Amino acid sequence: MKQGSRRRFVVGVVIALIIIVALGGIGWHLITATQSTLSTTMDTSMSGGVTAADTTVSPSMSSSTAFNLTAALLSGAPTLGSPNASVTIVEFGDYQCPTCDDWFKTQESSLIQNLVNTGRAKLVWRDFDFYGPDSVSASEAAYAAGEEGKFWQFHDLLFQSQQIPNGGWASRQNLVKLAEQMGLNMTQFDVAFNSGKFDSLINSNHNLGVQAGVTQTPTFFLIGSNGKMVTIAGDQPESVFEQAVAQLAG
């Protein structure tokens, strides 16, 4: 091989490798997102009467089983907004996740104002705790507050209080302080918080997220009344949600 053609060959190989690595990474993300969407849109029939117990998902369960993922996503979780809203936005998040916090602080209020308060969509929260034990404690505390009808207030307070992940801000002692700060009935809160009764819900939420193909937090599944679904992964602007809701409702 002549020196000139060899040089061109080496340059070509280097460029090709760089492009392959970059596009491969992007492709991997897109493929996993598409697979998740496909596995859920294949089974979009809306079965009625699904209870909280139905959200328990075996981690080993494959998408080829008769499991109805869409129905599972829609049931047994705290919901904000009108039950008659045509679109349900299911958020998978972790109270210690900085990206979830950023989305909460920059986008959630606009989303609630423009989509939830107008009755166009309702917002559902599901835990996808992978940052550590403090994330699970935070989820338990939010559910314990929910027993006093203050789930969403505590959810907001957790994000407003977020600091470095696993830095102790969501330790059990600090969560009790947050509950006191919110003016909850502490006897009732302590019993619920320490009972361990939310463990199965938190675990089933996590398993459901894995089943749905969550690869990052926050991940949102927007489900229309016709069963069609749009997945929004990451810290995306509220305008994207408006566009997707319009598409699902239309």
Partner 1 sequence: MDTFRDIRYFLVAIPILVAYGIALLFFDQFLFFSPYFTFYVSHSGDMNLILDLLLTVLTTIVLTVSIRQVLFQRTAGGGATKSGAIGIVAAILAGACPCYYLIPLLAVAGTVGGALGAAGILLDAYQIPIKLAATLILFFTAYKLNKSNTCKVKAPTRNLAQKRQQLAS
In the three-class reduction of DSSP (H, G, I as helix; E, B as strand; rest coil), residue 230 is classed as strand
Residue 200 CA to residue 213 CA, distance in Å, equals 20
**Minimum separation from the CB atom of position 240 to partner 1 (A):** 6
Q: Which burial class, exposed, middle or buried, applies to 53 when counting CB atoms under 10 A from its CB (0-12, 13-18, 19+)?
A: exposed
* CB-nearer residue toward partner 1: 34 or 194: 34
Applying CB under 8 A, which residues contact partner 1? Answer: 7, 10-11, 14-15, 18-19, 21-23, 25-26, 29-30, 33-34, 98-99, 102-103, 105-106, 130-132, 164-166, 206, 209-210, 215-217, 230-237, 240, 243-244
Tokens encoding 141:
């505390």
**Minimum separation from the CB atom of position 84 to partner 1 (A):** 24
Name residues whose C-beta falls within 8 Å of residue 51's C-beta, 6 or more positions apart in sequence: 75, 76
**Minimum separation from the CB atom of position 24 to partner 1 (A):** 9
* CB-nearer residue toward partner 1: 18 or 53: 18
Q: Helices 186-194 and 172-182: crossing angle, nearest 10°?
A: 150
Amino acid symbol at 187: T
Q: Which burial class, exposed, middle or buried, applies to 59 when counting CB atoms under 10 A from its CB (0-12, 13-18, 19+)?
A: exposed
**Minimum separation from the CB atom of position 11 to partner 1 (A):** 6
Residue 231 CA to residue 16 CA, distance in Å, equals 31
**Minimum separation from the CB atom of position 2 to partner 1 (A):** 13
* CB-nearer residue toward partner 1: 85 or 233: 233
Distance, first Cα to last Cα, the chain: 61
Phi, psi of 180, deg, nearest 5: -65, -45
* CB-nearer residue toward partner 1: 142 or 229: 229
* CB-nearer residue toward partner 1: 5 or 187: 5
* CB-nearer residue toward partner 1: 106 or 181: 106
**Minimum separation from the CB atom of position 230 to partner 1 (A):** 5
